[in-house]
Amino acid sequence: MKILLLIMGFLTWGSSQAVAQKKPAPKAPAKAPATAISAATLSAGKSVYVQNCLTCHQADGYGVDGLNPPLIKTNYVLGDKARLTKVVLNGLQGEDIEGEPYNNVMPSFDILTDQQIADVLTYVRNSFGNKASAIKAPEVKAIRASNKKK
């Protein structure tokens, strides 16, 4: 009986040592991306979207089939920032987007400030399942200036 207890004691002690040695190393805290977009920018962009874009592109960003294109994971939204900015500044009509024709006229929103355009485009590029870099007001200003030269 003493031998059995001794063996059980060694087995229990040895297994607790093995478990103690297998503790995982602590994980490093997750770092925020260096280009994190502020909540204030997204909030301002959402406000501009609700006032100017929601009627055509809808609250969910899906647009209206055949009339107003979706803003979800399209090359127009996630691709070239200058092209997207020019769409807002100049408007758009009868464009095929991702192979689908959209026949409604998007008016020019050049009455919006550079900051408003930057905010709304950053909001769209980071909403509805999208994830893309921010557009800054100086970028919009430069595109607006080059747009006027033509």
Residue 49 lies in a domain: yes
pTM above 0.85, yes or no: no
Does the residue 94 lie in any domain?
Answer: yes
Specify the number of domains making up the chain: 1
Cα torsion 119, 138, 97, 51 to 10°: value is: 30
On whether residue 12 sits in a domain, the answer given is: no
Query: What pLDDT is stored for residue 147 in this prediction?
Result: 86
Give the contacts of 119 (CB within 8 A, at least 6 positions apart): 41, 44, 45, 48
pLDDT in the model for residue 52: 98
SS3 113: coil
Structural domain harbouring 78: 37-149
Asked whether residue 129 is assigned to any structural domain, the reply reads yes
**Which residues on neighbouring strands pair with residue 64, listed in sequence order?**
68
What pLDDT is stored for residue 2 in this prediction? 53
Is 2 a domain residue? Answer: no
CATH of the domain at 131: 1.10.760.10
What pLDDT does residue 1 have?
53
Say if 9 falls within a structural domain: no
The segments of the chain whose pLDDT lies below 70 read: 1-35, 150
Is residue 148 exposed (0-12), middle (13-18) or buried (19+ Cβ within 10 Å)? exposed
